[in-house]
Amino acid sequence: MLAVVAVEITILGSGSGGNCTYLETARVKLLVDAGFSGKQIATRLASIGRTLEDIDAVLLTHEHNDHTQGLPVLCKRHKIPVFANRLTAELLHEEMPGLETWKIFQTGQPFEIGDVRVESFTVPHDAHDPVGFLLRHDSGNIGILTDLGCTTRLVIERIRPANVLLLETNHDPRLLQDDTARPWSVKQRILSRQGHLSNAAAAEAITQIVHDGLKHVYLGHLSRDCNRPELAYASVAGALQDAGARDVRVEVTSQTDPTPTLMLGAPALTIAQQGHDAVSACVQP
Protein backbone atom coordinates (compact mmCIF):
# COMPACT_ATOMS: atom_id res chain seq x y z
CA MET A 1 0.00 0.00 0.00
CA LEU A 2 1.29 3.44 -0.91
CA ALA A 3 1.84 5.86 1.95
CA VAL A 4 -0.29 8.99 2.02
CA VAL A 5 1.81 12.04 1.24
CA ALA A 6 1.43 14.72 3.88
CA VAL A 7 0.13 18.22 3.34
CA GLU A 8 2.15 21.03 4.92
CA ILE A 9 0.21 23.98 6.31
CA THR A 10 1.69 27.24 7.60
CA ILE A 11 -0.33 30.32 8.52
CA LEU A 12 2.15 32.97 7.40
CA GLY A 13 0.16 35.58 9.30
CA SER A 14 -3.43 36.36 10.22
CA GLY A 15 -5.02 39.49 11.64
CA SER A 16 -6.65 42.77 10.75
CA GLY A 17 -3.42 43.94 9.10
CA GLY A 18 -2.88 40.98 6.78
CA ASN A 19 -3.76 37.36 6.07
CA CYS A 20 -1.88 34.68 4.15
CA THR A 21 -1.79 30.88 4.44
CA TYR A 22 0.69 28.53 2.75
CA LEU A 23 -0.32 25.03 1.67
CA GLU A 24 2.05 22.48 0.12
CA THR A 25 1.37 19.02 -1.28
CA ALA A 26 3.47 16.70 -3.41
CA ARG A 27 2.17 18.45 -6.53
CA VAL A 28 1.31 22.06 -5.69
CA LYS A 29 2.29 24.97 -3.49
CA LEU A 30 -0.55 27.40 -2.82
CA LEU A 31 -1.23 30.64 -1.00
CA VAL A 32 -4.71 31.32 0.34
CA ASP A 33 -4.92 35.12 0.24
CA ALA A 34 -1.97 37.47 -0.12
CA GLY A 35 -2.67 40.12 2.48
CA PHE A 36 0.90 41.27 3.12
CA SER A 37 3.31 43.13 0.85
CA GLY A 38 5.19 41.01 -1.65
CA LYS A 39 8.36 41.59 0.35
CA GLN A 40 6.72 40.45 3.57
CA ILE A 41 5.28 37.33 1.94
CA ALA A 42 8.72 36.50 0.52
CA THR A 43 10.32 36.98 3.95
CA ARG A 44 7.78 34.75 5.66
CA LEU A 45 8.12 32.08 3.00
CA ALA A 46 11.90 32.22 3.42
CA SER A 47 11.46 31.43 7.12
CA ILE A 48 10.10 28.01 6.10
CA GLY A 49 12.57 27.49 3.28
CA ARG A 50 10.29 28.52 0.40
CA THR A 51 10.33 31.35 -2.17
CA LEU A 52 7.79 33.18 -4.29
CA GLU A 53 9.16 31.28 -7.28
CA ASP A 54 7.84 28.09 -5.66
CA ILE A 55 4.23 29.28 -5.57
CA ASP A 56 1.91 27.75 -8.17
CA ALA A 57 -1.26 29.73 -7.42
CA VAL A 58 -3.08 32.09 -5.07
CA LEU A 59 -6.65 31.50 -3.90
CA LEU A 60 -8.62 34.60 -2.86
CA THR A 61 -11.42 34.68 -0.33
CA HIS A 62 -12.41 38.28 -1.15
CA GLU A 63 -11.06 41.64 -2.29
CA HIS A 64 -10.26 43.49 0.94
CA ASN A 65 -6.73 44.87 1.22
CA ASP A 66 -5.73 42.71 4.18
CA HIS A 67 -6.17 39.72 1.87
CA THR A 68 -4.87 41.12 -1.42
CA GLN A 69 -2.16 43.76 -0.98
CA GLY A 70 0.64 41.47 -2.20
CA LEU A 71 -1.02 40.68 -5.53
CA PRO A 72 0.77 43.29 -7.69
CA VAL A 73 4.17 41.80 -6.86
CA LEU A 74 2.99 38.20 -7.07
CA CYS A 75 1.14 38.66 -10.36
CA LYS A 76 3.13 41.27 -12.27
CA ARG A 77 6.63 40.27 -11.23
CA HIS A 78 6.20 36.54 -10.69
CA LYS A 79 3.21 35.81 -12.97
CA ILE A 80 1.53 33.67 -10.33
CA PRO A 81 -2.05 32.70 -11.31
CA VAL A 82 -4.76 34.08 -9.02
CA PHE A 83 -7.98 32.11 -8.54
CA ALA A 84 -10.96 34.29 -7.64
CA ASN A 85 -14.66 34.41 -8.40
CA ARG A 86 -15.80 36.83 -11.06
CA LEU A 87 -17.03 39.71 -8.90
CA THR A 88 -13.85 39.69 -6.82
CA ALA A 89 -11.63 39.59 -9.91
CA GLU A 90 -13.54 42.36 -11.68
CA LEU A 91 -13.24 44.71 -8.71
CA LEU A 92 -9.54 44.02 -8.21
CA HIS A 93 -8.88 44.38 -11.94
CA GLU A 94 -10.15 47.96 -11.64
CA GLU A 95 -8.17 48.67 -8.48
CA MET A 96 -4.98 46.95 -9.66
CA PRO A 97 -4.73 47.45 -13.43
CA GLY A 98 -2.19 45.29 -15.16
CA LEU A 99 -2.94 42.08 -13.29
CA GLU A 100 -3.40 39.55 -16.08
CA THR A 101 -3.12 36.18 -14.38
CA TRP A 102 -6.74 35.69 -13.31
CA LYS A 103 -8.30 32.24 -13.14
CA ILE A 104 -12.05 32.63 -12.59
CA PHE A 105 -14.05 30.12 -10.59
CA GLN A 106 -17.77 30.06 -9.91
CA THR A 107 -18.68 30.14 -6.24
CA GLY A 108 -20.06 26.75 -5.26
CA GLN A 109 -18.52 24.90 -8.20
CA PRO A 110 -15.54 22.72 -7.21
CA PHE A 111 -12.32 22.72 -9.23
CA GLU A 112 -8.86 21.22 -8.95
CA ILE A 113 -5.39 22.66 -8.64
CA GLY A 114 -2.99 19.77 -8.93
CA ASP A 115 -3.95 17.20 -6.31
CA VAL A 116 -6.10 19.66 -4.31
CA ARG A 117 -9.85 19.82 -4.84
CA VAL A 118 -11.08 23.33 -4.05
CA GLU A 119 -14.63 23.79 -2.79
CA SER A 120 -15.87 27.35 -2.26
CA PHE A 121 -19.00 28.58 -0.55
CA THR A 122 -20.59 31.95 0.17
CA VAL A 123 -19.99 33.57 3.57
CA PRO A 124 -21.79 36.64 5.00
CA HIS A 125 -19.32 39.53 4.92
CA ASP A 126 -19.32 43.09 3.58
CA ALA A 127 -17.46 42.28 0.37
CA HIS A 128 -18.64 41.72 -3.20
CA ASP A 129 -18.71 37.91 -3.25
CA PRO A 130 -16.74 36.61 -0.24
CA VAL A 131 -16.12 32.89 0.12
CA GLY A 132 -14.76 30.29 2.47
CA PHE A 133 -12.80 27.28 1.24
CA LEU A 134 -12.65 23.58 1.94
CA LEU A 135 -9.46 22.23 0.37
CA ARG A 136 -9.69 18.45 -0.06
CA HIS A 137 -6.66 16.20 -0.37
CA ASP A 138 -6.04 12.50 0.12
CA SER A 139 -4.25 13.35 3.38
CA GLY A 140 -7.19 15.32 4.78
CA ASN A 141 -9.30 18.44 4.44
CA ILE A 142 -8.33 22.02 5.28
CA GLY A 143 -11.04 24.59 6.00
CA ILE A 144 -10.59 28.36 5.65
CA LEU A 145 -13.31 30.29 7.45
CA THR A 146 -12.44 33.92 8.15
CA ASP A 147 -14.12 37.28 7.56
CA LEU A 148 -17.76 36.48 8.21
CA GLY A 149 -20.31 38.05 10.47
CA CYS A 150 -22.21 34.87 11.28
CA THR A 151 -22.21 31.17 10.47
CA THR A 152 -25.15 30.14 8.32
CA ARG A 153 -26.37 26.57 7.94
CA LEU A 154 -24.66 26.45 4.54
CA VAL A 155 -21.33 27.54 6.05
CA ILE A 156 -21.52 24.91 8.80
CA GLU A 157 -22.42 22.13 6.38
CA ARG A 158 -19.71 23.00 3.89
CA ILE A 159 -16.89 23.43 6.43
CA ARG A 160 -17.76 20.47 8.68
CA PRO A 161 -15.58 17.89 6.83
CA ALA A 162 -12.43 19.85 7.77
CA ASN A 163 -9.67 18.03 9.63
CA VAL A 164 -7.78 21.31 10.05
CA LEU A 165 -9.69 24.58 10.33
CA LEU A 166 -8.67 28.25 10.26
CA LEU A 167 -11.52 29.96 12.12
CA GLU A 168 -12.02 33.66 12.68
CA THR A 169 -12.01 34.94 16.27
CA ASN A 170 -11.92 38.63 15.49
CA HIS A 171 -12.99 40.44 18.63
CA ASP A 172 -14.19 40.41 22.19
CA PRO A 173 -17.48 42.40 22.25
CA ARG A 174 -16.64 44.20 25.49
CA LEU A 175 -13.23 45.31 24.23
CA LEU A 176 -14.83 46.43 20.99
CA GLN A 177 -17.52 48.42 22.79
CA ASP A 178 -14.90 50.09 25.01
CA ASP A 179 -12.57 50.95 22.14
CA THR A 180 -12.37 54.74 21.74
CA ALA A 181 -10.53 54.74 18.41
CA ARG A 182 -13.41 53.29 16.38
CA PRO A 183 -16.56 55.30 15.61
CA TRP A 184 -19.90 53.69 16.42
CA SER A 185 -20.61 53.11 12.73
CA VAL A 186 -17.50 50.92 12.43
CA LYS A 187 -18.43 49.00 15.57
CA GLN A 188 -21.88 48.38 14.15
CA ARG A 189 -20.36 47.05 10.93
CA ILE A 190 -18.05 44.68 12.81
CA LEU A 191 -20.91 43.42 15.00
CA SER A 192 -23.34 42.99 12.10
CA ARG A 193 -24.19 39.75 10.30
CA GLN A 194 -21.93 41.00 7.49
CA GLY A 195 -19.04 41.81 9.80
CA HIS A 196 -16.69 39.58 11.81
CA LEU A 197 -17.04 36.68 14.23
CA SER A 198 -16.57 37.40 17.91
CA ASN A 199 -14.87 34.90 20.19
CA ALA A 200 -18.24 33.76 21.50
CA ALA A 201 -19.69 33.37 18.00
CA ALA A 202 -16.68 31.31 16.95
CA ALA A 203 -17.05 29.14 20.05
CA GLU A 204 -20.71 28.54 19.21
CA ALA A 205 -19.78 27.70 15.63
CA ILE A 206 -17.11 25.19 16.62
CA THR A 207 -19.62 23.19 18.62
CA GLN A 208 -21.62 22.74 15.41
CA ILE A 209 -18.57 21.98 13.28
CA VAL A 210 -16.65 19.60 15.55
CA HIS A 211 -16.53 15.91 14.61
CA ASP A 212 -14.20 13.00 15.28
CA GLY A 213 -12.00 13.91 12.33
CA LEU A 214 -11.35 17.52 13.38
CA LYS A 215 -7.85 17.56 14.85
CA HIS A 216 -6.50 21.12 14.71
CA VAL A 217 -8.15 24.54 14.93
CA TYR A 218 -6.29 27.76 14.18
CA LEU A 219 -7.84 30.94 15.58
CA GLY A 220 -7.30 33.77 13.11
CA HIS A 221 -7.96 37.36 12.15
CA LEU A 222 -7.69 38.66 15.72
CA SER A 223 -8.12 42.40 16.13
CA ARG A 224 -5.01 44.07 17.53
CA ASP A 225 -7.03 46.40 19.76
CA CYS A 226 -10.27 44.54 20.45
CA ASN A 227 -9.13 41.04 21.29
CA ARG A 228 -6.51 39.12 23.23
CA PRO A 229 -5.05 35.71 22.29
CA GLU A 230 -5.91 34.29 25.71
CA LEU A 231 -9.54 35.39 25.38
CA ALA A 232 -9.95 33.82 21.94
CA TYR A 233 -8.27 30.63 23.11
CA ALA A 234 -10.37 30.36 26.26
CA SER A 235 -13.63 30.76 24.34
CA VAL A 236 -12.97 28.14 21.67
CA ALA A 237 -10.98 25.67 23.78
CA GLY A 238 -13.63 25.87 26.48
CA ALA A 239 -16.40 25.17 23.97
CA LEU A 240 -14.51 22.15 22.64
CA GLN A 241 -13.93 20.83 26.14
CA ASP A 242 -17.61 21.24 27.00
CA ALA A 243 -18.44 19.33 23.81
CA GLY A 244 -16.16 16.48 24.87
CA ALA A 245 -13.69 17.15 22.02
CA ARG A 246 -10.56 16.89 24.14
CA ASP A 247 -8.19 15.79 21.36
CA VAL A 248 -8.54 18.90 19.21
CA ARG A 249 -5.47 21.12 19.23
CA VAL A 250 -6.25 24.85 19.40
CA GLU A 251 -3.64 27.35 18.27
CA VAL A 252 -3.86 31.13 18.08
CA THR A 253 -2.29 32.66 14.98
CA SER A 254 -0.15 35.78 14.95
CA GLN A 255 -0.17 38.90 12.82
CA THR A 256 3.61 39.10 12.89
CA ASP A 257 4.95 35.54 12.88
CA PRO A 258 4.17 32.37 10.92
CA THR A 259 2.78 29.41 12.83
CA PRO A 260 4.85 26.24 13.13
CA THR A 261 4.33 24.14 10.01
CA LEU A 262 1.64 21.50 10.45
CA MET A 263 1.91 18.15 8.67
CA LEU A 264 -1.49 16.70 7.81
CA GLY A 265 -1.32 13.07 6.72
CA ALA A 266 -1.04 9.45 7.77
CA PRO A 267 -0.69 8.33 10.43
CA ALA A 268 -1.38 11.56 12.34
CA LEU A 269 -0.95 15.31 12.51
CA THR A 270 2.54 16.41 13.48
CA ILE A 271 4.17 19.77 14.08
CA ALA A 272 7.23 20.16 11.85
CA GLN A 273 8.65 23.22 13.63
CA GLN A 274 9.06 24.23 17.24
CA GLY A 275 8.44 27.55 18.97
CA HIS A 276 4.70 27.34 19.71
CA ASP A 277 2.85 30.35 20.99
CA ALA A 278 2.13 30.04 24.70
CA VAL A 279 -1.57 30.11 23.90
CA SER A 280 -1.52 26.79 22.04
CA ALA A 281 -2.28 23.38 23.44
CA CYS A 282 -4.45 20.32 23.24
CA VAL A 283 -7.74 20.75 25.04
CA GLN A 284 -7.41 18.75 28.23
CA PRO A 285 -10.20 17.32 30.39
Is residue 282 in some structural domain? no
- DSSP annotation of 198: B
Is residue 285 in some structural domain? no
Is residue 281 in some structural domain? no
Percentage of the chain beyond pLDDT 70 is 91
**Pairwise CA distance, residues 54 & 100, whole Å:** 19
- pTM of the entire structure? 0.93
pLDDT, mean of residues 68-72: 96
Strands (E), the chain: 7-15, 18-24, 29-32, 57-59, 82-85, 102-105, 111-113, 116-122, 131-137, 140-145, 164-168, 216-220, 249-252, 262-264, 270-271, 280-282
Q: Give the domain CATH number at 154.
A: 3.60.15.10
pLDDT at residue 277, as a whole number: 44
pLDDT band for position 281 (cuts 50, 70, 90): very low
pLDDT at residue 164, as a whole number: 98
Mean pLDDT of the chain: 92
Is residue 2 in some structural domain? no
pLDDT band for position 97 (cuts 50, 70, 90): confident
**What total number of domains does the chain contain?**
1
pLDDT, mean of residues 225-239: 97
- Domain holding 134, by residue range, is 7-274
Is residue 171 in some structural domain? yes
